[in-house]
Structure 1
Amino acid sequence: MQKDYKMKNLTMSKSNNTLLVISSCLPMLLAFNSLANTGTDHIEQGWFIGANLGQSTANIDSDSIWRNLENSGFAVNEINEDTRHLGYKLYTGYTFSRYFALEGGYFDLGNMGFNATTSPVSDYTGNTGLKGWNLDLVGRLPLSANWSVLARVGVTQNKSKTRFSSNGLINTTANNQQSSYTKHKYGLGVQYAISDAFVLRLEAERYRMDDLIGNIGDMDLYSLGLVYRFGGSKTHYVPTAAPDPAPTTRQPAPAIPPALVTTEPAVLVLEDVHFNFDTAELNANTKVILRRHVATLKANPQARIRIAGYTSASGSEAYNQALSERRAESIKTFLVSEGINANRFKTIGFGERNPAQYEAKPSVLRSDAAKANMRGLFEIIVE
């Protein structure tokens, strides 16, 4: 006699193998650490393409399957699960800034399923697969010149296929389905810039789906990927004149003409200003120099100004980057308070990059070289 049977509450949740998968992939990322000076993760804008390959996982509620089979008159010997599969995604996107990108692509997480051994023998099996298209908003937080952390949230157009089978003792026809529907996804990851063009990613993502009989479930993808960036734009700075020595030995700057008469764009590199150790506050000597620059800027109202902040080599790279940005903003704030229009300025921080002098011993916090590097440098473009 044929018995009708419908599974209930078969859900998929996050795998307990997250740490195992990440730990197995992380050495591949660290192997590129020797290339730390060849790449940068400060690309501002541009297109990119990429591919990730890894393991998709799911947890099947075997207890619920067991109970439902017993309630239908079967003695259950065991339930074998197939909860891991090869998964991948292909994608393209556009980086709008160093913090945000939009990314879309195709994913295939493979198939998950189970096989129940019962008495009388039912040969009862079930499996489901998930693939589809996605569109994600990706947030990125740079940690250094090469490392960043990622967070993403997006929508997916899923295509899932569910199939049950038995030897006829269980009616499975009603549960077989193939459907297309919209869900959401989210994830976290880290990435390492091998070079300006290539980036290595390690990611963990959760995809929402309709599971074997229409309930809401999850499938997870833990993957390693490679991204290629197409000539993204980033800010480069090459000093147009040799920097002055440290404040203790610098000679007074030569007088700068209050006005320029020119028919071609010209670039003026004004005297750089210096800061005390581990601070973005302007000292008295710095303000004197800046007030001399104010006269030049007011005499050339058509000029645009770029201010670059720098630091010495002591301290972490991330801390020095933030300090250099504060120093550039501190100079801008002072010049605005002296009557210069804020719209004429662009500020940028270079941290400990492009030093004025080489620091043989960064641990010597107040060496002459360190003092020379704790500076703000800016140039004026006159059209």
Structure 2
Amino acid sequence: MKISRTLPAMIALACATMMSANAQDMAPQQPVQADSAFVNPDWANSAWYMGAGVGRTRAKIYNSDLARRMSAAGLPLTGYNVDNKDVGYKLFVGKQINKYLAVELGYFDLGEYSFEALTTANRSLRGETDYRGVNLDLVGMLPLTERFSLLGRAGVQYAKARTDFTGNALNAVTNPNPPTEGRRHAKLGLGAEYKLTEALALRAEVERYRVTDAVQNSGNIHMASLSLTYKFGRPAKVAYVAPAAPVAAPVQEAPVAAPTPPAPEPVPTSEKVSIAAEALFDFDKSIVKPEGKAALDEFMAKLQGMNTEVMIAVGHTDSVGTNAYNDKLSMRRADAVKAYMVSKGLDPARLYTEGKGETQPVADNATAEGRAKNRRVTIEVVGTRTTQR
């Protein structure tokens, strides 16, 4: 098999460019807000991207026309051997239209295929054909999770076939060295994509190319490939800023000979706090982070002097993922908050937990800012506190 030397070098260069551009994302970072791998999901829905792929190709060319030609030349077929597998490559650039659609322009090399037709009197005809071309596809994407999506593509491709014939039965073909044949055909594909980061993703696809060779034989070539894609223009990450430590109020001397005030009476009170999930947990996790423990410690400190009657911790999520998954995630996070507060001395009988999933948003889930507000845990406390009237 003859394999182009130029195209693999181009693909290697494209992959190196993507990996170099993504090095900043993969290198260790200073602490950022709650797993910053997906802090700007809306940006990715309108970004430009490039990619490169390599895979195994398999051709199925219909050679009934060749058999007819050889029979007409008085050379009926007695045997037929084919080599219909090779390695294919592709390079492409694309533009996300929205979360579900993208447009891609690409270049492909489907490899080289050969056949040997045997006839009577020890005569044979051997042919070799390679296919290269360009394509324009509309790519549909169905996100199943924040990282994993299914892909489907449909488009048009223009493939050029270059064929050479050898052997001692060349009279079966009109021209042993026919000119390059270019034809426009449809192109289809199915696959899946996994986002390694917001910018870098891995694709696995199966595509079908309709082709025509230089002697007008038609058929299909299928390519199963793995590709890397890289999206450009990722916004800068937002660093996590820890809450400032409370500043102690200046100590004032008690007034001399001030009358002792009457003892304050307990009054009913209700206090409620909402803590962003990013401050408590890593992405898609329910283990309280050190920053989250600090926030809960601060909240429990504010309850000093309050006779609590009941406390309720309620977990909430955004709309990414299925309803069933989000319900379970919100409940696990509420239970994790309770477990930590109980470990700090809270009576477990006084704290109840609920998981509301994505059913009670406080902001629009269509934006990254809105989804961040919806990923939260609220804690409401009802009891009595001694306050000065």
- Please classify the TM superposition score into its range, dividing by the shorter chain length: 0.5 to 0.7
Which amino acid in the other structure matches residue 86 of structure 2? H
Within-5 A mapping of 1:96-175? 96-168=97-169, 170-174=171-175
Q: 2:181 — aligned with what?
A: 179
Q: 2:216 — aligned with what?
A: 214
Deviates further, 351-360 or 200-209 = 351-360
**1:377 aligns to 2:369 (yes or no):** no
Within-5 A mapping of 1:232-311? 232=234, 251=270, 310-311=316-317
Residues 44 and 232 of structure 1 are in contact (CA less than 8 Å); yes or no, is this contact kept in structure 2? Answer: no
Q: Quote the Cα distance in structure 2 between the aligned partners of 1:354 and 1:90.
A: 44
Q: Quote the Cα distance in structure 1 between the aligned partners of 2:153 and 2:161.
A: 22
Which amino acid in the other structure matches residue 320 of structure 1? N
Q: Quote the Cα distance in structure 1 between the aligned partners of 2:199 and 2:209.
A: 29
Q: Quote the Cα distance in structure 1 between the aligned partners of 2:83 and 2:217.
A: 19
Residues 129 and 162 of structure 1 are in contact (CA less than 8 Å); yes or no, is this contact kept in structure 2? Answer: yes
Which amino acid in the other structure matches residue 165 of structure 1? T
Q: Quote the Cα distance in structure 1 between the aligned partners of 2:338 and 2:89.
A: 47
C-alpha distance 70-352 of structure 1, shift in aligned 2 (>3 A): farther
Q: Deviations over 1:331-360 (max 9, x none)?
A: xxxxxxxxxxxxxxxxxxxx8599677368
Q: Note the C-alpha offset of 1:168.
A: 5.0
**1:318 aligns to 2:321 (yes or no):** yes
**1:55 aligns to 2:56 (yes or no):** yes
Q: Deviations over 1:258-294 (max 9, x none)?
A: xxxxxxxxxxx9xxxxxxxxxxxxxxxxxxxxxxxxx
Q: Quote the Cα distance in structure 2 between the aligned partners of 1:133 and 1:228.
A: 20
Residues 323 and 357 of structure 2 are in contact (CA less than 8 Å); yes or no, is this contact kept in structure 1? Answer: no
Q: Quote the Cα distance in structure 2 between the aligned partners of 1:360 and 1:113.
A: 69
Q: Quote the Cα distance in structure 2 between the aligned partners of 1:188 and 1:318.
A: 22
Q: Deviations over 1:98-147 (max 9, x none)?
A: 11111112111011220123332323012322111111111100011211
Q: Quote the Cα distance in structure 1 between the aligned partners of 2:182 and 2:190.
A: 26
1:358 aligned to 331, 336, 340, which one? 336
Q: Note the C-alpha offset of 1:219.
A: 1.4
Deviates further, 142-151 or 213-222 = 213-222
Q: Quote the Cα distance in structure 2 between the aligned partners of 1:59 and 1:165.
A: 21
Q: 1:8 — aligned with what?
A: none
Q: Deviations over 1:139-178 (max 9, x none)?
A: 1000112110001111223222123233255243437231
Residues 63 and 217 of structure 2 are in contact (CA less than 8 Å); yes or no, is this contact kept in structure 1? Answer: no
Q: Report the 3-state secondary structure (helix = DSSP H, G, I; strand = E; otherwise coil) of the residue aligned with 2:134.
A: strand
Q: Report the 3-state secondary structure (helix = DSSP H, G, I; strand = E; otherwise coil) of the residue aligned with 1:370.
A: strand
Q: Quote the Cα distance in structure 2 between the aligned partners of 1:210 and 1:353.
A: 58
Q: TM-score, normalised on structure 2?
A: 0.53
Unaligned 5+ residue runs, structure 2?
1-34, 244-268, 276-314, 340-350, 371-389
Q: Quote the Cα distance in structure 2 between the aligned partners of 1:57 and 1:94.
A: 29
Q: Report the 3-state secondary structure (helix = DSSP H, G, I; strand = E; otherwise coil) of the residue aligned with 2:270.
A: coil
Report the count of equivalent residues. Answer: 252
Q: Quote the Cα distance in structure 2 between the aligned partners of 1:353 and 1:179.
A: 63
Q: Note the C-alpha offset of 1:232.
A: 4.3
Unaligned 5+ residue runs, structure 1?
1-36, 242-249, 255-268, 270-308, 325-350, 362-366
Q: 2:88 — aligned with what?
A: 87
Q: Deviations over 1:78-100 (max 9, x none)?
A: 32101011101001111122111
C-alpha distance 173-71 of structure 1, shift in aligned 2 (>3 A): closer
Q: Quote the Cα distance in structure 1 between the aligned partners of 2:102 and 2:155.
A: 12
Q: CA RMSD in A?
A: 4.5
**Max radius of gyration: which structure?**
2
Q: Report the 3-state secondary structure (helix = DSSP H, G, I; strand = E; otherwise coil) of the residue aligned with 1:160.
A: strand
Q: Quote the Cα distance in structure 1 between the aligned partners of 2:123 and 2:83.
A: 18
Q: TM-score, normalised on structure 1?
A: 0.54
Q: Quote the Cα distance in structure 2 between the aligned partners of 1:174 and 1:208.
A: 23
Q: Note the C-alpha offset of 1:214.
A: 2.0
C-alpha distance 233-213 of structure 1, shift in aligned 2 (>3 A): farther
1:230 aligned to 213, 232, 240, which one? 232
Residues 180 and 214 of structure 2 are in contact (CA less than 8 Å); yes or no, is this contact kept in structure 1? Answer: no
